Amino acid sequence: MSSSSSTRSHSEIFEKIPVHVFATPTAAARELAAEVRQLIEYRKAEGRNAVLGLATGSTPVPFYRELIRLHREEGLSFQNVITFNLDEYYGLAPEHPESYARFMAEQLFNHIDIPNENIHIPSGQVPGNQVFVHCREYEEAIEKAGGIDLQILGIGRTGHIGFNEPGSSKESLTRRITLDRITRQDAAGDFRGEQNVPHFAITMGVGTILRGRKLALMAWGENKAGIVARAVEGSVTDTVSASFLQEHPDARFFVDQGAASELVRFKLPWLVGPASWSPAESMRAVCWLSKKLGRPVLKLVDEDYNENGLSDLLSEQGPAYQLNIRIFNRLQNTITGWPGGKPHEDDTYRPERAKPYPKQCLVFSPEPQDAVVAMAGTMERLQDQGNHVYLANLTSGSLRVSDSEADKFAGTLNELAISTDESAAWLPQKAYADEVLRILAEKGEVGEDPELLRRLKALILRGESRDAAQAIHIASSEVSFLDLPFYEKGRYRRFKTTEEDVVAVASLLRQQRPNQIYLTGHSSDPSSVSAMTFSIVMQALQQCMGEDWRSACSIWIYSGKEKPFAPHEIDMAVPMSPTQMERKQRALGRFQQLTSLEVQAPDRDRATARHYDDLGLAQYEAIECFQRWRAA
Ligand code: GLP
């Protein structure tokens, strides 16, 4: 995939904003940081200040890390830099763990030599009747500094820049805004529950942002792919604030491959130039054509291909009749009721090999609910068909558990101790419960959880996870909890993995010696728990290279909840009956803290089955699906 370049190729004709695609966020961050360095040094030589507009969220973190590195290792000074942040949650004090003021201090300002008085962040604490004045003064301060030279932006799932939710006008200025439901859901993890997420924020307006001389929007991971494509290729609309960047003379997107994946040049490459018709690409094109015309694969005719930009494919692999049959058979061969391989059967066209049987199947779940959400039915099948399923929960998931759950548990323990008897046997439990209740009362809804509380929350989730596993026939003894240190020591969007994490996973792999591995996170937002655990497992597998079990082990990827696999991406489709779906639903019900996307998992399984049906394959109730891992 190309990296940045100033000349735009024909393949980018649908893109109304220049998009630079990088192999990794770090590579993109490095390029942008180098540009900032140039700006700062250029301005310094002129005896002037460089004015930067800054953003929060997980997206700019690699960029800030690179700026810090430039400062520490290459002596870049920020003495002549003035910054203006885009936004702040309204109602939060600067010391609140989720305030953007604290975020900026921890992620950047504490590590560079910028003078304090040069930092500007909207205040989340101005009284209601002074908000208007505060916002006007913010605008004036930007103007007084000479305007913003380079504005850094991220993008929210609603397409917002800053906190300019759908409906924000092109002329809007700094103001208080009501947060969208989706935005609050996305922040729910950070605040341990949607109910704790502020309803309002103060944000620069779209108009304020557009006045910046240069704009650079960063986005990582496939969960941003849809909104990036809408902003770049869709029409300019106030329902996607980022689309206003199309009207700016110097706006650019810096994205990784995941976030670029819905752009026409990657999604439908044959529409923008000659395509290379690999088996995967022809599968993608035929599925697309069938969907576009609303006709099953076997009913597509030569004209359909010719009239829809696929004449190349036809001349290389046609006629339509032959091509259709080949694709249909390949799709058909992805379907199996035997995810662990069907013993004693010819496996030439089956997704998984028959031998060995039974198989040792190791399922990795980033947080405890993830594997159940994506593949409860498949785990149950594997187990019922005689394989040995081992469910490894990589992190404790403690950050997801609400205070009220901990309160409920400690309250019950306390009462039990009081009501059972007053003997010494209960004293430690009583003291423990009292301590938990004290911590909860003291820290309030939004304070940080000390270790004791995180531990209790992890234990609560352990119970739920074992319970859910039992509902799909997996014994408690086959569920393990690795509690990887990066998670235990970190917070959402700010995790940092270390060798310790990799060592823990490698040792589990050596102990299990699996024939099959299931995992997820290959193209998620790199700061997410699933992307981090994916990279940890991959590094651990690398360490096991050359061991006898390793080369014979198949690796299956299950999709993240934000972006289910499309039919052309599926290598193994495991159909589920209505009764199995009921059991999956029951297993999901064992978790108290599911997000709306997790609750909707069965609907997504049903939608996958409908896609197969539309392509002309058998009609199933639902399908869980997997991709074979192919190392790049
Ligand atoms: C918040 C911020 C935005 C940011 C967005 C995306 O809504 N106000 O400025 O772009 O989150 O966050 P992330 O980068 O974590 O995906």
Domain extent listing, the chain: 17-265, 270-329, 360-400+457-628
**What is the mean predicted confidence (pLDDT) over 406-417?**
88
**pLDDT on residue 97:** 86
| Residue 202 or residue 2, greater confidence | 202
**pLDDT on residue 527:** 86
Tell me the pLDDT band of 3, cut-offs 50, 70 and 90.
Answer: very low
Q: Report CA(219)–ligand 1 centroid distance (Å).
A: 10
In DSSP terms, 76 is beta-bridged to none
Question: Which residue's CA is minimally distant from atom 9 of ligand 1?
Answer: 162
Which SS3 state, helix, strand or coil, does residue 556 take?
A: strand
pLDDT digits (tens, 9 = 90+) for 57-106: 999 999 999 999 999 999 999 999 999 999 999 999 998 889 999 999 99
| Rounded Cα gap, residues 472 and 359, in angstroms | 18
Question: Which residue's CA is minimally distant from atom 6 of ligand 1?
Answer: 156
| Rounded Cα gap, residues 32 and 30, in angstroms | 6
Tell me the pLDDT band of 416, cut-offs 50, 70 and 90.
Answer: confident
**What is the mean predicted confidence (pLDDT) over 142-152?**
98
| Residue 418 or residue 576, greater confidence | 576
Q: Report CA(215)–ligand 1 centroid distance (Å).
A: 16
pLDDT digits (tens, 9 = 90+) for 290-312: 999 999 999 999 999 999 999 99
C-alpha radius of gyration, the chain, whole number: 26
Candidate list 12, 98, 139, 165, residue with the active-site label: 165
pLDDT digits (tens, 9 = 90+) for 170-214: 999 999 999 998 889 888 878 877 888 999 999 999 999 999 999
Q: Which of 188, 165, 204 has its CA nearest to residue 55? A: 204
Give this prediction's pTM: 0.90
Pocket of ligand 1 (CB under 6 A): 55-59, 86-87, 154-156, 162-163, 183, 493
The ligand 1 atom at the shortest distance from the C-alpha of residue 527 is 15
Of 85, 186, 255, 256, the one to substitute when testing ligand 1's pocket (max ligand atoms within 8 A of C-beta) is 186
Helix, strand, coil content of the chain in percent (nearest 5): 50, 15, 40
The ligand 1 atom at the shortest distance from the C-alpha of residue 201 is 8
DSSP 335: B
| Residue 489 or residue 143, greater confidence | 143
Q: Report CA(304)–ligand 1 centroid distance (Å).
A: 42
**pLDDT on residue 1:** 40
Of 87, 153, 155, 241, the one to substitute when testing ligand 1's pocket (max ligand atoms within 8 A of C-beta) is 155
Name the residue type at position 201. Answer: A
Q: Report CA(294)–ligand 1 centroid distance (Å).
A: 37
Which segment of 79-93, 100-114, 516-530 scores lowest on mean pLDDT? Answer: 516-530
Q: Give the chain's mean pLDDT.
A: 93
CATH of domain 17-265: 3.40.50.1360
CA torsion through residues 336, 339, 345, 347, sign = positive
CB-CB neighbours of 93 under 10 Å: 12
**pLDDT on residue 446:** 65
**319, two tokens:** 């006629």
CA torsion through residues 296, 297, 302, 305, sign = positive
Q: What percent of the chain has pLDDT over 70?
A: 97
pLDDT digits (tens, 9 = 90+) for 469-492: 999 999 999 999 999 999 998 888
Tell me the pLDDT band of 537, cut-offs 50, 70 and 90.
Answer: very high
Tell me the pLDDT band of 597, cut-offs 50, 70 and 90.
Answer: confident
**pLDDT on residue 2:** 40
Is 165 labeled as catalytic in the residue annotation? yes
**pLDDT on residue 176:** 97
In DSSP terms, 519 is beta-bridged to 557
| Rounded Cα gap, residues 496 and 505, in angstroms | 16
Q: Report CA(164)–ligand 1 centroid distance (Å).
A: 11
Give residue 59's Cα distance to chain centre.
Answer: 11
Tell me the pLDDT band of 465, cut-offs 50, 70 and 90.
Answer: very high
**pLDDT on residue 424:** 65
Q: Report CA(57)–ligand 1 centroid distance (Å).
A: 4
Domain 17-265 and domain 360-400+457-628 have a common topology: yes
**What is the mean predicted confidence (pLDDT) over 565-592?**
96
Domain 360-400+457-628 belongs to what topology? Rossmann fold (3.40.50)
- Reply yes or no on whether the pLDDT at 422 is more than 70: no
**What is the mean predicted confidence (pLDDT) over 406-434?**
82
**What is the mean predicted confidence (pLDDT) over 158-162?**
93
**What is the mean predicted confidence (pLDDT) over 449-472?**
95
